[in-house]
A and B are shown apart, each in its own frame.
Chain A
C-alpha cells in the first residue's frame, strides 16, 4: 500500500521568512496530493492541492511542487506570518480517491 513520509517534523521560522515542507510517497499510481493545515482544536483545512499532471501550483503565498519521477512533493510558504503557525499534513491518493494516506505532519511555528 501507499506510504507517505514527511519532513521535517517540526519547523521554526522567523516571521517573513519562507518555510518548506517535503513529502515523499511510495505508490507510483498516486495521482492527487492535497495539503491540509490543522490549527489547535480544529479539523484539517485544505490549503492547496496538486494533480499528477501538473508540476507546480500557486495560490498567493502558498505553492506546491510535484516531482513524479522522484515521487516527492513540497509545500512552500513565503512571507510567513504568525497565523501560519499550525500542523501541516500532506496526503497522497490514487485511483480510489477516497483513500487518502496522510503524512505524519509538520508542526510549523512562526516566531514574531
Chain B
C-alpha cells in the first residue's frame, strides 16, 4: 500500500484565519514533504522532514509553519495568508531520506483558497 492521505480536501479561509492541513502515511516512511502547486505548474518543494526533523526549508514565508508530531503525521499550519497563496498543497512521503534513489509518493492534495 502506497497511500498518503490528506485532510481536508478543500479549504477556504480568510486572510486573518488560522487553519491547519494534515497529512498521514502508514508505510513506515521516514521522510515527509510539503509541496505547493499552482495551476498548470509543477509541484514546488516547500519543506522536508527527515526522521521527524526539519531538514529542508525552501525559503518559505513564516506564515506557513510545518510540524511533524511523529513519523506518520505531518501538519502545515497556516496563518495570515495572502490570496496568492491559493494553490493545491501536496504532501509526499519516501522511505529513507538518506538513500538514493528515494521514491516519493504523493497524497491527493488540499485545494486551498484564500479570500
Q: Which residues of A contact B (CB under 8 A)?
A: 31-32, 34, 36, 41-46, 49, 51, 89, 93-100, 102-105
Query: Which DSSP category, helix, strand, loop or mixed, fits chain A's interface?
Result: loop
* Contacting pair B105 A32 (CB below 8 A): no
Is there contact, CB below 8 Å, between B50 and A98?
yes
> Min CB distance, A44 to chain B, in Å?
5
Please determine whether A43 and B90 come into contact, CB atoms closer than 8 angstroms: yes
* Count of chain A to chain B residue pairs whose CB atoms are closer than 8 Å in the complex: 68
Interface residues of B toward A: which range? 20 to 34
- Given the contacts A89-B42, A103-B42, A105-B42, A98 and B102 also touching, CB distance less than 8 Å: yes
Contact in complex: B42, A97 (CB < 8 Å): no
The minimal Cβ–Cβ distance linking A68 to chain B, given in whole angstroms, is: 15
Chain B CB within 10 Å, residue with most, of A49, A96, A99: A96
